[in-house]
Amino acid sequence: MKTISTILIIALLAVIGGCSSDPDAPPRFRVKNDRSTDASLKVQTSGGNTININNVAPGTTSAYQDVAPGQVDVTVTIQGEQGDFTASWVASTNQSYTIVVANTTPPTVGIVIP
């Protein structure tokens, strides 16, 4: 129940402040690691760019990074966990996104609009 409340609060904040004042601003994303171990990400865009973000510390949120509009695929490697965890979304101009590495069993990765 607490997770649902958190997601609803994040969604409300997205409506209030998720957009830039520049209508042509590129989409951007950040990473929030809610786990107790490091997480590393490989972010691939439909434009062919790859962004690697290594060792996002537990309980931290990274700075925003711009990404090209279109399909974005994320592969997350979590320290101490077997396998990779994935998420995808379609990035839109003038929009911000947060990739959340959730502290769940098994681990999950989600995309929210802050």
Q: For the residues 66-75, what does the mean pLDDT come to? A: 96
CA distances from 100 to 13, 21, 47, 93, 110 (A): 15, 25, 23, 20, 5
**Domain range for residue 80?**
2-112
3 φ, ψ (degrees, to nearest 5)? -65, -40
pLDDT at 9: 52
C-alpha–C-alpha distance, residues 18 and 41, integer Å: 22
Q: How confident is the model at residue 21 (pLDDT cuts 50, 70, 90)?
A: low
pLDDT at 10: 52
- Which long-range contacts (C-beta less than 8 Å, at least 24 apart) are formed by 53-60? 56/31, 56/101, 57/33, 58/33, 59/33, 59/34, 60/32, 60/33
Q: What percent of the chain has pLDDT over 70?
A: 82
CATH number at residue 23: 2.60.40.2890
Domain count along the chain: 1
List, in sequence order, every residue forming a beta bridge with 100; answer none if it has no partner. Answer: 32, 110
pLDDT digits (tens, 9 = 90+) for 72-95: 999 999 999 999 999 999 999 999
